[in-house]
Amino acid sequence: MASSRHVSRWRLCRPLEACNSSASSLSSLPNTLEAVAKLSSSTPPVSLRYLNEFVGKLHCASALLDHGLFPDAKEITESMAMFNAVRRYIEPLGRNKGTSQQKNGKHDGIVVVGDGNTPRTAAMFAFRMRGWTSYSVDPAMEDGTSERSKGWADVSNLVVMRNKIEDVRIALRRTIVVLVHAHVTLEQALSAVQAEQICGVVTLPCCNWYGQQESLFGRGPDLVYDDFSVLSDHREIRLWVGDEPGSNVNTAHADLSLASSVMKGCVCKEFMTLGENELVRDVSLLIREEYMAEEQVISNCLPSAVVSKLGLDSHVLVFGWHPRRLAVRLLLRDGYTNVYTISLADDLSVTIGDNGKRGNKTLKLQLQKCTSNLDIESGNAEGGEEENVELHLCGYFTLQSSFAFSNADNSCDDDEETVTVSYVSAGSPVPPLACVLDAGFIFRGFRGRAKKTPIFFRHLCRTFDQLLAACGSATDNSRSPSLICLTPRKQWRKKKFLAHADLNYDVLSIATKEQTRGTPMYVYFCFQRQTISAPERPKKD
């Protein structure tokens, strides 16, 4: 049965009662009914053990903080948890009296994948594991030009690599591979390491990668546990002793129990053989929890953020992901009277011309004004009042784009694509649209694309500008934003995205107190530096 990317198939056992080295392995799955009987009915309390150790006992803590490696307590506990797993289960197996430099010029190395923009976990290993060189690999790593990154060069036995793990090669004598919320498979991570011996692999999966980090070359983890000293919902740790297939591995020499004092707050987990119905139910519950959490975040941060920069009489075009138009309802509830949304009028049409060298795409959207009306019947049924959003047709947007096909494989070249937008009224006056409110719309549509291709992102923003200009509503009021974005993406304020010169925005960013999946929600206010016009392009004969 295919695994779910979002849901861990390991479940908590009662502490210490049902935890042994074979219980967590895919090669020796427990009986489903017995495992269900062992499940803990309550979640253990979160422990501050790692923070206490970091503040009170760790001699290198001040140096780690001075380098600005940790943005918050959560990141500290995650790095501490990974080090704790290695020192307890893996590092003693590879310990010797030698130094990091061995014969043939090869070192013993810790390879940390997914450290983020700072080498926080690798630096902790570099300070605390003598005789090992720590490698931190992440494409989002700060480059060496920033003041903070210059300080990392002073950390002994730390090597920082700003790259994808798939694109590097590290030659070592012995290695331990550590994945901290890494968005790669275990096989991808190990393919970058050329080592004579792999002592072990430890992963702290998150997001969509629970199901993609279940096995190492077909072998299940030797131990899986939740570390409740990690201040995050994603606290499941999986580890493998060595990297051999399951039929060849021998873990008899390894003590894989949680009885040690250094494992206080850790609870063993057992693999559950879920049927299709149970798996679908778990996924639906998780999606519902995420859905409700995001809804709560937007409900709390959107009204105050928008009202502070946008007048109540502004004409706002809302793009949102919520099926019940949450952002629209919130604006109407706060007194905005000119709120609009769009929907598909006709399917996308594509025509090919110029002997197959160029193509044209046409998309027709309908613009609708939103008004609220109290739905008494729904209120009685739900035991409360429910706002019913009514939609009134205003007119139609027509988006046309021209693109070229590459000569190699007749595929379209997105870099050459240009878009024009026109508007036709359906009888009512043309609404003077002044602002586009992106309530998570771009984030949900853009997150499936590669982060290193922001051209598509800017393409969307320019299209939003053209929607406003098509209604003849480009404004000279620099105090009113033309685009407001709500997103958990901090990097959108960078020059590759909203601050790019082609967009001509002055960007104001605010980090709200609300969080989604442990990440702050950011509100970006984009002010046009000058009026953006939408000139009519002459048609070719």
**Residue 35 pLDDT class (50, 70, 90 cuts):** very low
Which contiguous run of DSSP H or E holds residue 399?
A: strand 386-405
pLDDT for 448 beyond 70: no
Which pTM does this prediction carry?
0.52
Burial class for 35, CB neighbours closer than 10 Å (0-12, 13-18, 19+): buried
Q: How far apart are CA 333 and CA 75, in angstroms?
A: 38
| Whole-number pLDDT of residue 20 | 44
pLDDT for 98 beyond 70: no
Q: How far apart are CA 413 and CA 261, in angstroms?
A: 59
**Residue 360 pLDDT class (50, 70, 90 cuts):** confident
pLDDT digits (tens, 9 = 90+) for 134-185: 999 999 898 777 788 888 888 999 999 999 999 999 999 999 999 999 999 9
Q: Which two tokens stand for residue 122?
A: 């690798």
Q: Which two tokens stand for residue 351?
A: 């025509």
**DSSP secondary structure code for residue 14 in this structure:** S
Q: Which residue has the higher pLDDT, 418 or 411?
A: 418
Q: Which two tokens stand for residue 61?
A: 């803590």
At 6, the amino acid letter reads H
pLDDT for 532 beyond 80: no
pLDDT, average across residues 201-209: 89
Among 25-34, 176-185, 244-253, 438-447, the range with the most confident prediction by mean pLDDT is: 176-185
Q: Which residue has the higher pLDDT, 447 or 334?
A: 334
**Residue 408 pLDDT class (50, 70, 90 cuts):** very low
**DSSP secondary structure code for residue 48 in this structure:** -
| Whole-number pLDDT of residue 178 | 97
pLDDT for 3 beyond 60: no
Q: How far apart are CA 312 and CA 466, in angstroms?
A: 23
| Whole-number pLDDT of residue 477 | 54
Mind listing the domains of the chain with CATH numbers? 10-96+104-283 (3.40.50), 303-528 (no CATH)
pLDDT digits (tens, 9 = 90+) for 421-438: 999 999 989 999 999 999
pLDDT for 33 beyond 60: no
Q: How far apart are CA 473 and CA 459, in angstroms?
A: 20
Q: How far is CA 218 from the centre of its chain?
A: 27
**Which has the closest alpha carbon to 321: 415, 141, 443, 239?**
443
Provide the 10 A C-beta neighbour count for residue 112.
Answer: 32
pLDDT, average across residues 35-44: 44
Cβ neighbours for 62, distance < 8 A, ≥ 6 positions apart: none
Q: Sign of the C-alpha dihedral, residues 477, 479, 480, 481?
A: positive
At 329, the amino acid letter reads R
| Whole-number pLDDT of residue 384 | 44
Q: Which two tokens stand for residue 126?
A: 């570099």
Percent of the chain, pLDDT > 70? 73
Q: Which residue has the higher pLDDT, 290 or 261?
A: 261
pLDDT, average across residues 502-514: 84
pLDDT for 410 beyond 90: no
| 507: β partners | 526
Q: How far apart are CA 222 and CA 268, in angstroms?
A: 11
DSSP of 453-520: -THHHHHHHHHHHHHHHHTT-----TTS-SEEEEES-GGGGSTTTTT-GGGTEEEEEEEEEEEETTEE
**Which has the closest alpha carbon to 184: 168, 195, 170, 198?**
168
| Whole-number pLDDT of residue 521 | 81
DSSP of 224-287: EEEETTSSSS--EEEEEESS--TTT---TTS---S-SGGGTTEEEEEE----HHHHHHHHHHHH
**Residue 233 pLDDT class (50, 70, 90 cuts):** confident
Q: How far apart are CA 245 and CA 255, in angstroms?
A: 19
Helix axes 49-56, 73-85, angle to 10 degrees: 90
| Whole-number pLDDT of residue 472 | 76
pLDDT, average across residues 272-290: 56
Provide the 10 A C-beta neighbour count for residue 70.
Answer: 21
pLDDT for 75 beyond 90: yes
pLDDT for 55 beyond 80: yes
pLDDT for 39 beyond 50: no
Q: How far apart are CA 487 and CA 443, in angstroms?
A: 6
DSSP of 356-396: TTEEEEEEEEEEEEEEEEEEHHHHHHHTS-EEEEEEEEEEE
pLDDT digits (tens, 9 = 90+) for 305-332: 777 788 888 999 999 877 778 889 889 9
By three-state DSSP, how is residue 532 classified? Answer: coil
Is residue 497 within 8 Å of residue 473, measured between CB atoms? Answer: no
* 339-353, strands of its sheet edge to edge: 412-425, 386-405, 358-375, 339-353, 316-320, 435-439, 483-487, 519-528, 505-516
